[in-house]
Amino acid sequence: MLGLFDKDPEKTQQTLVERERNTSNSPSAAASYTSSLDMYSHDSSSSKDLKPTVSITTLSSDKPSFLVIFLTALASISGFMFGYDTGYISSALVSIGKSFGTELSYGEEQFITAATSLGAFITALLSGLIVDFSGRKPLLMISNLMFIVGAIIQCAAESVWTMIVGRFIMGFGVGIGSLISPLYISELAPSRYRGRLVVLNCLGITGGQLIAYAIGAGLNHVHNGWRILVGLSMIPPAIQFVAFLFLPDTPRYLIMRNKTEAAEKVLMRTNPHASLENIKLKILDLQEEDLLSECKNPFKKWWNTVLELHRVPSNFRALFLSCALQAIQQYTGFNSLMYFSSTIFKAIGFNNSTAVSLIVAGTNFVFTVFAFFIIDKIGRRLILLISIFLMTCFLVLNAIAFHFIEITFHHNSAVVLGNIHTWGIVIIVSMICFVASYAIGLGNVPWQQSEMFPQKVRGIGTSYATASNWGGSLIISATFLTMLENITPTGTFSLFAGFCVLSFILIFFCYPELSNLELEEVQELLTGGFHVKRSMQLAKARKNGAPPAIEKDTPESLNSV
Ligand SMILES: O[C@H]1[C@H](O)[C@@H](O)[C@H](O)[C@@H](O)[C@H]1O
């Protein structure tokens, strides 16, 4: 199972025996920090009988240390930039046109908006290929430079094409940040708080969108106000860049690069209450997990990793689930509201569209805060199912309400025939409820993607998933208005509702509960099946503080869901 056992069985045996001894010699440490989750048959009483075993060291069940919270907040600046840069464009578009001499055409507006998603799509894929060589931190710092260069080009832009180039380069930063920030956070976080800490990054995204909308509304009537809006976006990446000059990379990455001492230092600083003994055990866990990737030629190493992502069934299950969740997040239509809410609300006769956009972004933010408090308690699976069930209900309500409103859509503008009436109110209320339902679950859980992959394929696996997100975002933003025109709003929202129903079924049968598990445990869970039932028992046991009672698994029991 782990490469360790294939390569040097004697050393392996020695290590494991030593670990057994360490743990039993120090019962208090073992009780407070260490638990052994043996997913496969193993008789610990006799070293001769040791078989492949995963022994997971839980460093601490305490709250995350100050350093972990600080690093999470700092990494979440990337989330903020993601939100701000995708958020400011809707208000900037209103005034940009006049600065370039003529009003922007519909196509130009689409290009300017989509350039960022396209740039993000490209770098999300590319940075996955290099993240295990370059490190997490340097890539985040490169994304900071791209944010700044992109913003400078836009601020100075005198033509549409310069603007598009600036947005495209900024998109490079968004793509890298959206991949690396949750990865960095989840590799540092204690397992019990991982969900919440990754949601902090989502709070950054939704907060960034809200602030961009608010500042955009404030600068609406200021001459060249959009340049100020874009200029302000340079401050957060500059702060992140300088701070990261002095801060560490993740222990998991440092182990991959054989920097054991540096990893030990980081683990000690991020887990101040853990004993040195347990830190060393944790390092052994991480080294065991990394052993298979020992290979001198970097290209071969990379290629082996790609092969392993696709060929090892547990990795492929992780890939399937993480890409599916990101695609579901986009294809169920939330961003159509984020980008086009003013168009929709104008269509039903509600003229203060800026206020409505602010309400949409505000609801998204407030309910992401709510998700922050409940995600590790309720669990990702249940919260996702509730979220998608509610989204379906509100989408259906929306589709019905639109059926009773006469609207004609024509070239990015909509004309409502008649006055706003009861059905208009139903649409506004159900859309806001739809946003709230999305934000408590589907808006966040897909970004927990890093936890599904073992260390070795985590970089590439999460980059596929992030690219699925940006690909979906690109497609929805490019087709939504066309869909409204061609298949009517009722048809469009029914289509999104249909996606929701399919997604619900997929998640119900395939998505295991991963909260409270160590990152190293998750891949074991995905071995031999999705193990949905088993995952729920395991997560519950972990939540209650007790290491789960391990029964001996046979291949058959592992195959049962
Ligand atoms: O998780 C985020 C968040 O929900 C944003 O509001 C949305 O615009 C993004 O597309 C999504 O990935």
Residues 177, 125: contact at Cβ < 8 Å? Answer: no
> Which residue's CA is the nearest one to ligand 1's atom 10?
335
Cα separation, 218 vs 144, in Å, equals 26
Cα separation, 85 vs 331, in Å, equals 21
25 or 201: which leads in pLDDT: 201
Q: Residue 36 falls within a domain, yes or no?
A: no
Please, which pLDDT band fits residue 122 given cuts at 50, 70 and 90? very high
47 or 171: which leads in pLDDT: 171
Please, which pLDDT band fits residue 416 given cuts at 50, 70 and 90? low
The pLDDT of 178-206, averaged and rounded, is 92
Q: Which of 64-78, 174-188, 228-242, 539-553 has the lowest mean pLDDT?
A: 539-553
473 lines ligand 1 (CB under 6 A): yes
CA-nearest of 529, 551, 496, 525 to 380 is 525
55 or 6: which leads in pLDDT: 55
Based on the domain organization, do 145 and 238 belong to the same domain? yes
Q: Which CATH number does the domain housing residue 88 bear? A: 1.20.1250.20
pLDDT of residue 256 exceeding 80: yes
Based on the domain organization, do 450 and 341 belong to the same domain? yes
190 or 437: which leads in pLDDT: 437
Q: Residue 503 falls within a domain, yes or no?
A: yes
Q: Residue 259 falls within a domain, yes or no?
A: no
Q: Residue 21 falls within a domain, yes or no?
A: no
In the prediction, which pLDDT does 19 show?
47
Q: Which of 116, 338, 365 gets mutated to test ligand 1 (max ligand atoms within 8 A of its CB)?
A: 338
Based on the domain organization, do 343 and 474 belong to the same domain? yes
- Structural domains counted in the chain: 2
Closest atom of ligand 1 to 439 CA is 4
Q: Which of 85, 89, 174, 329 gets mutated to test ligand 1 (max ligand atoms within 8 A of its CB)?
A: 329
Q: Residue 50 falls within a domain, yes or no?
A: no
Last residue of a domain, one of 232, 247, 262: 247
Based on the domain organization, do 243 and 342 belong to the same domain? no
Please, which pLDDT band fits residue 1 given cuts at 50, 70 and 90? very low
Mean of pLDDT over the chain: 82
Burial of 521 (0-12, 13-18, 19+ CB in 10 A): buried
443 lines ligand 1 (CB under 6 A): yes
Name the one residue in this structure whose structure tokens are 């929306």. Answer: 398
338 lines ligand 1 (CB under 6 A): yes
Cα separation, 347 vs 130, in Å, equals 46
In the prediction, which pLDDT does 298 show?
66
202 lines ligand 1 (CB under 6 A): yes
Q: Residue 187 falls within a domain, yes or no?
A: yes
pLDDT per position as a tens digit, 327-385: 999 999 998 887 777 667 766 776 666 677 788 899 999 999 999 999 888 999 999 99
CA of 338 to the centre of ligand 1 (A): 9
Q: Residue 217 falls within a domain, yes or no?
A: yes
Please, which pLDDT band fits residue 31 given cuts at 50, 70 and 90? very low
Last residue of a domain, one of 193, 228, 247: 247
Based on the domain organization, do 243 and 350 belong to the same domain? no
The pLDDT of 258-287, averaged and rounded, is 89
Rounded to two decimals, the pTM is: 0.82
In the prediction, which pLDDT does 39 show?
38
In the prediction, which pLDDT does 311 show?
94
CA of 302 to the centre of ligand 1 (A): 30
Closest atom of ligand 1 to 209 CA is 6
Last residue of a domain, one of 247, 262, 282: 247
> Which residue's CA is the nearest one to ligand 1's atom 2?
443
Q: Which of 334, 336, 438, 470 gets mutated to test ligand 1 (max ligand atoms within 8 A of its CB)?
A: 334
206 lines ligand 1 (CB under 6 A): yes
Q: Which of 82, 202, 383 gets mutated to test ligand 1 (max ligand atoms within 8 A of its CB)?
A: 202
> Which residue's CA is the nearest one to ligand 1's atom 5?
206
22-36, 147-161, 405-419 — most confident range? 147-161
The pLDDT of 71-82, averaged and rounded, is 96
Based on the domain organization, do 95 and 240 belong to the same domain? yes
Domain interval for residue 202: 65-247
Please, which pLDDT band fits residue 40 given cuts at 50, 70 and 90? very low
* 3 state DSSP class of 222: coil
The pLDDT of 471-480, averaged and rounded, is 87
CA of 483 to the centre of ligand 1 (A): 21
Asked casually if ipTM beats, i.e. exceeds, 0.90, the reply is yes
Name the one residue in this structure whose structure tokens are 């019905």. Answer: 400
Closest atom of ligand 1 to 202 CA is 1
Q: Which of 92-96, 115-119, 209-213, 458-462 has the lowest mean pLDDT?
A: 92-96
Based on the domain organization, do 86 and 177 belong to the same domain? yes
pLDDT of residue 123 exceeding 80: yes
Q: Residue 30 falls within a domain, yes or no?
A: no
364 lines ligand 1 (CB under 6 A): yes
Based on the domain organization, do 490 and 344 belong to the same domain? yes
432 or 129: which leads in pLDDT: 432
Percent of the chain clearing pLDDT 70 (strictly above)? 80
Percent of the chain clearing pLDDT 90 (strictly above)? 50
The pLDDT of 82-102, averaged and rounded, is 82
Residues 561, 533: contact at Cβ < 8 Å? Answer: yes
Please, which pLDDT band fits residue 101 given cuts at 50, 70 and 90? confident
pLDDT of residue 515 exceeding 50: yes
Based on the domain organization, do 85 and 229 belong to the same domain? yes
pLDDT of residue 500 exceeding 50: yes
Based on the domain organization, do 396 and 504 belong to the same domain? yes
Based on the domain organization, do 373 and 501 belong to the same domain? yes
Based on the domain organization, do 345 and 200 belong to the same domain? no
> Which residue's CA is the nearest one to ligand 1's atom 1?
443
CA of 559 to the centre of ligand 1 (A): 35
Cα separation, 448 vs 515, in Å, equals 10
User: How many Å separate Cα 274 from the centre of its chain?
Assistant: 28
CA of 115 to the centre of ligand 1 (A): 17
Please, which pLDDT band fits residue 411 given cuts at 50, 70 and 90? low
